[in-house]
Amino acid sequence: MDHAADDVVEDLVRRHAPQVLGALVRRYGHFDPAEDSVQEALIAAAEQWPRDGVPDNPRGWLIRVASRRLTDRLRSDEARRRREERAAALTPADAFVSPPPGEGAAGRSRAPAEDDTLTLLFLCCHPSLSPAAQIALTLRAVGGLTTAEIARAHLVPEATMAQRISRAKRAVRGTRFLRPDGRELDRRLGAVLQVLYLIFNEGYTASAGPDLHRTDLAREAIRLTRAVRRLLPREGRVTGLLALMLLTEARTPARTGPDGELIPLDEQDRALWDRTAIAEGTALAAEALALGPAGDYQLQAAIAALHDETERAEDTDWPQILALYDLLVRRTPDPAAALSRAVAVAMVHGPRAGLAEVDALAEAAGGHYRFDAVRAHLLERAGDMAAARTAYRAAADATLSEPEARYLRMRADEAER
């Protein structure tokens, strides 16, 4: 096969991985060995499909191979062997080709492949897990990333990440493989979307290391959010989050210069922005607002759309953006949203007004470098170059992102001239 065909195989394998794992966990209830068996099936597919061709039913092929590997594991232990026999006795003969239809928590019929993906996401984002564990387990089980890939993304040793993932699996062991419903669904969906957004943000602006952007993480977050939206197409939060990701990611081609240097939003060459992604994101943002009360993701998507639809930075509709931030900060105590609102205040009412808003957030910001970076920017706009230099340098010293640190030091040097 050529490289294009290899890419097709990789896409198929990654797309079907959570469905296959979900089918096995639902049927056998053993998360850890099921995940190992699915990984072995994925490796077998990556080796065989480029050579022999993609089977007519790739998901069925993966389920069949993974099930065989899992039953081999189960037979090695007497107690597990008995559970496997009971499961096999209750499973139709063709069940290893495609997952059997099941019933949801409320007794409704469901499409197993799609429902299993969403259920698996909820399992990986179980409230008993820390956010770091939720992210790692989601990337491993639903995203199909290897432990080494996840470790590299988080700048930790592979052994450390393997332990984190193992602990997360142990923590959810014995949890019923059912998608929550009603009020619990609403509560747990919030955790799922937060994890996906955290993954995206780490990909869009890496919190540490030499690279500003980690394409694999950002794209994986978008892919998983698309999967959730296919399952919950009428959920405004999901549609809003997908819109926000697309509108934000669309700016990536213009965010760095030829030497990898950071270029701020108001200085970017907007001709480089991905207009296809902007068109899709703008349409989704409008749809999300129409689906119900405006939540955090819908409001942030609407703000991103106002930025992306403007061809020149000086034509940005800052009064409308400020109005949306007013709504957002009334809904959430997030200091990051409040800092962004302070910038909008400065653009509408002047830098001194924005600085007053920033200074009021000093305690809530908790010494985060972005507080000093925003304050430095507004001080520079107000003409207080000495204070701007100090704030820029404080921000540069606090961030672990090398591109951001270089940019902040450059601004400090320019403010000194």
Tell me how far apart the alpha carbons of residues 63 and 68 are, in angstroms, rounded to a whole number: 8
Q: Which residue has the higher pLDDT, 81 or 116?
A: 116
**Residue 225 sits in which domain range?**
112-173+181-232
Count: domains in the chain: 2
Residue 53 half-sphere exposure, CB side, CA atoms within 13 Å?
3
pLDDT digits (tens, 9 = 90+) for 351-396: 999 999 999 998 887 778 999 999 999 999 999 999 999 999 999 9
Model pLDDT, residue 107 = 35
Tell me how far apart the alpha carbons of residues 201 and 329 are, in angstroms, rounded to a whole number: 19
What is the arithmetic mean of pLDDT over 110-127? 74
Mean of all residue pLDDT scores within the chain: 84
Q: Both 49 and 139 in a single domain?
A: no
Intra-chain end-to-end CA distance of the chain, in Å: 58
Residue 390 belongs to a domain: no
Model pLDDT, residue 248 = 97
Model pLDDT, residue 127 = 85
357, 369, 389 from 386: Cα distances, Å: 20, 18, 5
Tell me how far apart the alpha carbons of residues 123 and 134 are, in angstroms, rounded to a whole number: 9
Residue 110 has pLDDT above 50, yes or no: no
Q: Both 149 and 204 in a single domain?
A: yes
Residue 46 belongs to a domain: yes
Residue 113 has pLDDT above 80, yes or no: no
Q: Both 8 and 75 in a single domain?
A: yes
Q: Both 58 and 165 in a single domain?
A: no
23, 113, 177, 293 from 118: Cα distances, Å: 12, 9, 11, 23
Q: Both 44 and 120 in a single domain?
A: no
Model pLDDT, residue 112 = 53
Q: Which residue has the higher pLDDT, 189 or 146?
A: 189
Domain boundary, last residue among 189, 216, 232: 232
Q: Both 116 and 227 in a single domain?
A: yes
Model pLDDT, residue 290 = 94
pLDDT confidence band for 3 (50 / 70 / 90): low
pLDDT confidence band for 83 (50 / 70 / 90): low
Q: Both 35 and 124 in a single domain?
A: no
Domain boundary, last residue among 93, 123, 156: 93
Our CA angle for 238, 241, 247, nearest 5°, is 140
Domain boundary, last residue among 232, 267, 302: 232
Residue 111 has pLDDT above 50, yes or no: no
Model pLDDT, residue 93 = 42
Model pLDDT, residue 413 = 94
Which of 136, 226, 228, 234 lies closest to 188, judged by CA? 228
What is the arithmetic mean of pLDDT over 309-314? 94
pLDDT confidence band for 317 (50 / 70 / 90): very high
pLDDT digits (tens, 9 = 90+) for 52-72: 888 888 888 999 998 988 888
Residue 348 has pLDDT above 90, yes or no: yes
Contacts of 257 (CB under 8 A, 6+ apart): 263
Q: Both 126 and 208 in a single domain?
A: yes
Residue 323 belongs to a domain: no
Residue 188 belongs to a domain: yes
Q: Which residue has the higher pLDDT, 18 or 377?
A: 377
- Which of 3-17, 178-192, 393-407 has the highest average model confidence (pLDDT)? 393-407
Q: Both 122 and 208 in a single domain?
A: yes
pLDDT digits (tens, 9 = 90+) for 278-291: 999 999 999 999 99
pLDDT digits (tens, 9 = 90+) for 243-297: 999 999 999 999 999 888 899 999 999 999 999 999 999 999 999 999 988 899 9
Residue 354 belongs to a domain: no
Model pLDDT, residue 332 = 83
Residue 324 belongs to a domain: no
Look up the pTM and report it: 0.77
Tell me how far apart the alpha carbons of residues 127 and 115 are, in angstroms, rounded to a whole number: 20
pLDDT confidence band for 98 (50 / 70 / 90): very low
Count how many residues are written for the chain: 417
Q: How many CB atoms lie within 10 A of CB 51?
A: 7
199, 219, 264 from 222: Cα distances, Å: 9, 5, 23
Instruction: Name 313's bridge partners.
Output: none
Tell me how far apart the alpha carbons of residues 54 and 61 are, in angstroms, rounded to a whole number: 10
Q: Both 137 and 228 in a single domain?
A: yes
Dump the DSSP string for 256-309.
B-TTS-B--GGGS-GGGS-HHHHHHHHHHHHHHHHTSS--HHHHHHHHHHHHHT
Q: Both 32 and 131 in a single domain?
A: no
pLDDT digits (tens, 9 = 90+) for 327-345: 999 998 788 899 999 999 9
Residue 167 belongs to a domain: yes
Model pLDDT, residue 252 = 95
Residue 42 has pLDDT above 50, yes or no: yes
Residue 223 belongs to a domain: yes
Q: Both 89 and 121 in a single domain?
A: no
Q: Which residue has the higher pLDDT, 208 or 306?
A: 306
pLDDT confidence band for 43 (50 / 70 / 90): confident
